[in-house]
Structure 1
Amino acid sequence: MSNFTPQTVAESAYPGQTGEIRKAYFKNAPINYQVINGESVFQNDIILHDHELSGEPVASEGTGRTRSTAKWPNKIVYYVIDPNLPNPQRVYDAMAHWEANTSIRFVARTTQRGYVLFRNGSGCSANVGYSGSLQYVNLGGGCSVGNTIHEIGHVVGLWHEHTRVDRNNHITINYGNIAPGTEYNFDTYAAQGYDGFDYGNTIDLNSVMMYGPYDFSKNGLPTITRKDGSLFSIQRNGLSPLDIATVQAMYP
C-alpha cells in the first residue's frame, strides 16, 4: 500500500503542467478536458482521441467498457515498444502480471491496424479501450511497473474506480477541497457520457485503478474519504481480486 501526500496523484500525463480547459461532447454528454502539448487529457492520465470528441451530442449506448468495439478482439492486445523507451522491462513485467492474472494476452504487432505503442512521455497516460488504430501508453522515467499495470488497465477498458455510478454509496467526494477547474475529474463515467459497467456491489478501494484521498486537493485536505470520513491508502502493487474479476467479466 502507498500513502499519497496532498497535491500528488498516482498517474499523470504531464506532471506539474496544466492546460486550457475545453468542453466537448462525448456520446450524449458534455465533458471537460485539458489540452496539454496538443493532447486531450481527461482525469489526469487518460488521453482522448480527437475522433471521440465532437461539438454536438451523439447518441450513446455504461469501471469497465461495455461496447464490443471498445474491447480487444480475441482478448489479444497487439503492441510495439518504442526502442527509445527507457527501462522497457517495466512494460514486460506489467504485461506478464496481466497475463498471469487474466485472460488478456499481449502479442508483438506485425501488420495489425489496431495496436498500442509504449513510448517515452512526460508522465504516465494511456487511451481507454480498443480504438482499432494506433493508440499509446506514455511512460515517463518515474512511471513504475505498478503505474504501467494501471495504464494497461485503461488500455483494456478500465475506468478509474472512483468514477463508478454507485460510488456515492461508498465514498464521499469533498468538492470543497478540490482545486478549481479540476472538479470534472471526479464525475462518474456515466455523467461524462461514457459507456461502462460497475462490477460487484461496492467500490474497490484496493483497486489498482483507484484515486488517492488527496488527489487534486487545493488545501491539503482530502478530496475523497470513506463514508465515515476516514482515509484509505491506494496501491500500485498489482491487480486486486476485484480488478481481475472485472476484467474477466469484460472478457469472458
Structure 2
Amino acid sequence: MSDPQPEQIHTERACPGVAGVPDSGYVKGVYMRYMTVNSAAVFQGDIILHPEDITAEPSIAQTTGRTRLTAKWPDKIVYYAIDPALPNPTRVYAAMAHIEANTPIRFVARTTQRGYVLFRNSSGCSANVGYSGSLQYVNLGRGCTVGNAIHEIGHTIGLWHEHTRSDRDQFIRVNYDNIVPGYSYDFNTYIVQGYDGFDYGNQLDLSSIMMYGPYDFSKNGLPTITRRDGSLYTIQRNGLSPLDIATIKAMYP
C-alpha cells in the first residue's frame, strides 16, 4: 500500500461558509464552548460533539475530577461502513490504507458491531473524536481530499488538534486579536479548555496532519498563529507525520 500523493491543502471545516451560533454546555462533565451550526455542535471547526454527551449542567458524578472526552477503539480495530451516497469513496480507502500502513490501527467493515464509524456525504469535513461505542461519523464533502480524510480519521481514533497541546506556547504564538469573534476558545490549550489531552514527545509538531493553518479563523487577513518569532509556517495534508505516527503508536501500544 502506497502513501497518498501530495494534494491541494484546505483546512477542515464542518460547514464551510455557514455562520454558527455561539453555544455552550457540559460535555461529559467538562464545560465547553462551541458553535451550533445546522443543528450540530461544532468544536474547533471540524469536531462534532455527540448530542447525547451535552447537558445544561454536570451530573453529580461528573463534578469531581476531570472526565475523559475520548476513548480508544478496543483491540485497535475501527469498524466502519461507507454510505453508498458518498462521492468518491476511494478517498476513504486510501486514507485507511495509509493509516494501516503506518500504525497499529486496523479498519474492518462493520457487520453487527454497535460501535462503528459511518463515512457519509456532507458539505464539509468533520468527525467525532474517539470511540463512542455507538454510531459515529466521518463527514466528507466533495472537496475533502485524502489528506482531509486522514485528518478526520485522526479525530476518530482520538487525536485532537496539534495547536491545543499544553506546551504549545513554547513553540507558537496565538494572535487572539486576529481571530473571528466567537472562535477564540478554539485556540486554547486542552488544559485551559478543561478536557484531557495527550502530549506526545517534547515539542509541538508543525508538520502534524492535525495542525491548524496560520490564517485559520482570521477576521482581518492577518495570521492567527505564527512561530514564536512571528514567522509563518506551512501545514500539510499529505499524510501522517513521523510524530503523528509515534503518537498513535503510543496511544495504541
What is the letter of the counterpart of residue 183 of structure 1? S
Give the equivalent residue in structure 1 for 2:243. Answer: 242
**1:3 Cα deviation (Å)?**
9.0
**1:163 Cα deviation (Å)?**
0.5
1:210–1:234 CA contact under 8 A, matched in 2: yes
Aligned partners of 1:182, 1:44: CA distance in 2, in Å?
9
TM-score using structure 1 length: 0.92
1:61 and 2:66 matched: yes
Secondary structure of the residue aligned to 2:17 is coil
1:118–1:138 CA contact under 8 A, matched in 2: yes
Aligned runs of 1:100-139 on 2, under 5 Å? 100-139=101-140
What is the letter of the counterpart of residue 94 of structure 1? A
Give the equivalent residue in structure 2 for 1:187. Answer: 188
Give the equivalent residue in structure 2 for 1:48. Answer: 49
Q: Aligned in 2, Cα 1:155/1:34: closer, same or farther, shift over 3 Å?
A: same
User: Deviations 1:188-246 (Å, cap 9, x if unpaired)?
Assistant: 12322222210011100000000000000111110000101110000000000000000
1:115–1:132 CA contact under 8 A, matched in 2: yes
What is the letter of the counterpart of residue 84 of structure 1? A
Give the equivalent residue in structure 2 for 1:202. Answer: 203
User: Deviations 1:39-62 (Å, cap 9, x if unpaired)?
Assistant: 111101000001222222424439
Secondary structure of the residue aligned to 1:78 is strand
What is the letter of the counterpart of residue 129 of structure 2? V
Identify unmatched segments of 5+ residues in structure 2: 1-5
The RMSD of aligned alpha carbons is 1.8
1:220 and 2:221 matched: yes
Aligned partners of 1:29, 1:152: CA distance in 2, in Å?
23
Secondary structure of the residue aligned to 2:210 is coil
Aligned partners of 1:170, 1:3: CA distance in 2, in Å?
26
Aligned partners of 1:222, 1:3: CA distance in 2, in Å?
20
**1:185 Cα deviation (Å)?**
1.0
Aligned partners of 2:39, 2:148: CA distance in 1, in Å?
23
Secondary structure of the residue aligned to 2:190 is coil
Q: Aligned in 2, Cα 1:181/1:2: closer, same or farther, shift over 3 Å?
A: farther
TM-score using structure 2 length: 0.92
Secondary structure of the residue aligned to 1:117 is strand
What is the letter of the counterpart of residue 188 of structure 2? D
**1:2 Cα deviation (Å)?**
8.1
1:145 and 2:146 matched: yes
Give the equivalent residue in structure 1 for 2:161. Answer: 160
**1:122 Cα deviation (Å)?**
0.7
1:80 and 2:84 matched: no
Aligned partners of 1:139, 1:130: CA distance in 2, in Å?
19
Aligned runs of 1:171-182 on 2, under 5 Å? 171-182=172-183
Aligned partners of 2:151, 2:17: CA distance in 1, in Å?
20
2:14–2:46 CA contact under 8 A, matched in 1: yes
Aligned partners of 1:18, 1:105: CA distance in 2, in Å?
36
Q: Give the length in aligned residue pairs.
A: 244
1:28–1:193 CA contact under 8 A, matched in 2: no
Aligned partners of 1:137, 1:50: CA distance in 2, in Å?
15
1:27–1:193 CA contact under 8 A, matched in 2: no
Identify unmatched segments of 5+ residues in structure 1: none
Secondary structure of the residue aligned to 2:191 is coil
* RCO comparison, higher one (Cα < 8 Å, 6+): 1
Give the equivalent residue in structure 2 for 1:38. Answer: 39
What is the letter of the counterpart of residue 226 of structure 2? T
Give the equivalent residue in structure 2 for 1:22. Answer: 23
